[in-house]
A = this chain, B = another copy of it.
Amino acid sequence: MPQYNPPLRDMQFVLHELLHAVDELKRLPPHADLDEDTVNAVLEEGGRFAAEVIAPLNLSGDSEGCRLDVATHAVTPPKGFKQAYETYVAGGWPALSCDPAHGGQGLPLLVNQFFYEMLNGANQAWTMYPGLSHGAYEALHAHGTESQKRLYLPKLTSGEWTGTMCLTEPHCGTDLGLLRTKAQPLADGSYAITGQKIFISAGEHDLAANIVHLVLARLPDAPAGSKGISLFVVPKFVVKDDGSLGARNGIFCSALEHKMGIHGNATCQMVLEEAVGTLVGEPHKGLQAMFVMMNAARLGVGNQSLGLTEVAYQNAVAYARERLQMRALSGPKAPDKPADPILVHPDVRKMLLTARAYAEGGRALSAYVALQLDKSLASSDAAERQACEAEVALLTPIIKAFLTDNGWIATSHCMQVFGGHGYIHEWGMEQFVRDARINMIYEGTNTVQSLDLLGRKVLANNGATLKAFGKKIAAFVEEEGVDEAMQEFVNPLADLGDKVTKLTTELGMKAFQNPDEVGAAAVDYLRVVGHLSFAYFFARMAKVALQKQASGDPFYTAKLATARFYFAKLLPETAGLIRSCRTGLQPLMAMDENLF
């Protein structure tokens, strides 16, 4: 069975040595009293929960899956999930970065980001039960009425209740403008909601006393399309004004999906039959309110694959040290043994280092974005808030798509290190691959992310946000370019930066003539900009490592080796991507649709 070791040392490196995050955070009024020791202690304790409580349930949860009792609509998650959730709630973990006004501990989102990386690495399917609550919490926190906040936020914060996002319907996923669920106003100001939702993660279970569904539906007078969608909060059990639970509401799980992975999480088809809900935010403006949940969820999905990349790497390394097979081509390395450990073989190392570099690059980028998010929420400087918000918006689709594509590559490589054993369930490696696959799809497919990046975040404002991020890279290049030791990192970074600038301009001009050019280029483009951001953070990490190498701590030697591997073996992918990108739309549209 796979093991999970919380990567605390690397997290501390990113927090304290790369980002100097506590200093940055202390500038923000809500985090003025933060200190490194607290952050480290929280992560250490959180890592222990991940490794000791939920990691041991990952493989068994996959084998067992969830059960639906069709008579009662009750869903039972795999054995041990409920007890683990009780431990989680008892430990106060749901409240970590929630608002103290509603019982939260008010820690930065950055700390929660690292905590969730560990939960996801230990058990993605389990983590989705509490994980979905965040979206509901954030939507109500941002758009709820005082009454909604009072009734729901404390229980979501404590974890007594969990949340869901009910968006997708059988005929619409990406295109929510097509949705059909209806909300009928009732005399008391609430609404009776009727319709069918699918793919609702954690839609029904017995882990919590209540489930708070955030549901998209149409009011009777709603305009057609995406401008006629409203957001409602629909609890599994009606919540009385004193906060106690009332009647079972008309929202039921009618079926569980049989999926490729995340078997331990209940993916529900939900039927709403005059379920009573209240409006969140303004009528017909549900999609905007929903995007509060969605952006958090997209960062969360990138974090899921980051966790899987790390755990797959750890277990593949352990196997590669133990498994004896063949001799190194350059001669025996363990002559006392019947064969060499497969870690001596260059391609095994290449697969492992690919996963390692994707984990370390992804961790640095995600942490940076979480820090910007904290600043965007809590800086006392409005201009800083706005700049950080724009940067988070730019990097969110990259985290969602680049980290999940990388997670798919990395988990598959790590499985490959196991040879035939990787294909066998009991080793746990193939589960990481199956679990990682959903992350490229849900919360907006990776194609949708790429359109969001190139269309909305880059071209729509003439590249202004990208330029601002590019300026940070240019400043770093300018500063470090004089340091001979840094040139191996800075030169390819600068080169790729120039290429991205040129490519962006080209694509802008093409898109001006035909908007479909955006769709043709977007997926390649996102991967190129993803590499640019990884190259930037690997160069910055290399700088820190070079400075501290003299300490003799082999951590820095390893960090440098990973950075060099990244620049040598992974960054070159951009050469092919840019070429493919520049061939444009025509090769895709030339085929008549009847000829496919």
Residues on A lying within 8 angstroms of B by beta carbon are 168, 171-175, 177-178, 198-199, 257-261, 317, 320-321, 324-326, 328-330, 338-339, 343-350, 352-353, 356, 408, 412, 415-416, 419-420, 422-426, 430, 433-434, 437-438, 440-442, 445-447, 450-451, 455, 514-516, 518-520, 522-523, 554, 557-558, 561-562, 564-565, 568-570, 572-577, 579-580, 583, 585-596
Contacts and interface: CB of A to CB of B under 8 A. Distances in A.
Most chain B beta-carbon contacts within 10 A, residue among A178, A329, A587: A587
28 contacts: A168-B420, A175-B325, A175-B339, A178-B338, A178-B339, A259-B424, A260-B430, A328-B516, A329-B451, A344-B593, A346-B519, A346-B589, A347-B447, A348-B447, A349-B591, A356-B596, A416-B440, A561-B587, A561-B592, A561-B595, A564-B587, A568-B586, A569-B580, A569-B587, A570-B580, A572-B579, A572-B583, A575-B575
A430 B430 CA distance: 13
B520 A325 contact: no
A100 to B, nearest CB: 37
B595 A554 contact: yes
A519 B419 contact: no
Contacts of A574: 576
A259 B573 CA distance: 32
B565 A591 contact: yes
Most chain B beta-carbon contacts within 10 A, residue among A175, A345, A583, A588: A588
Contacts of A516: 328-330, 346
Contact of A419 (B173, B257, B345, B590): B173
Nearest to A569: B580
Contacts of A447: 345, 347-348, 416
A311 to B, nearest CB: 15
A569 B424 CA distance: 35
Most chain B beta-carbon contacts within 10 A, residue among A349, A438, A515: A349
A160 B428 CA distance: 38
Nearest to A320: B596
How many copies make up the complex? Answer: 2
A520 B347 contact: yes
Q: Which 10 A-B pairs have the closest CB atoms?
A: A572-B579, A346-B519, A568-B587, A568-B583, A576-B576, A260-B430, A329-B515, A346-B520, A558-B595, A575-B575
Nearest to A408: B412
Contact of A425 (B172, B260, B588): B260
A430 B424 contact: no
Contacts of A178: 324-325, 338-339
Given A260-B423, A260-B433, A346-B520, 5 more contacts: A259-B423, A261-B423, A353-B587, A561-B590, A562-B591
A445 B416 contact: yes
Nearest to A351: B447
Nearest to A328: B516
B423 A438 contact: yes
Contacts of A172: 325
A510 B35 CA distance: 52
A519 B596 contact: no
B326 A175 contact: yes
Contacts of A349: 588-589, 591
Contacts of A442: 420
Nearest to A318: B596
Contact of A347 (B260, B519, B594): B519
B579 A575 contact: yes
A105 to B, nearest CB: 34
A415 B175 CA distance: 18
A554 B590 CA distance: 13
Contacts of A356: 596
Contacts of A174: 325-326, 419
Contact of A595 (B330, B520, B557, B589): B557
Contact of A576 (B330, B573, B591): B573
Nearest to A584: B568
A79 to B, nearest CB: 18
Given A424-B259, A441-B422, A576-B576, A569 B583 contact: yes
Contacts of A589: 346, 349
Contacts of A321: 593, 596
Contacts of A570: 580
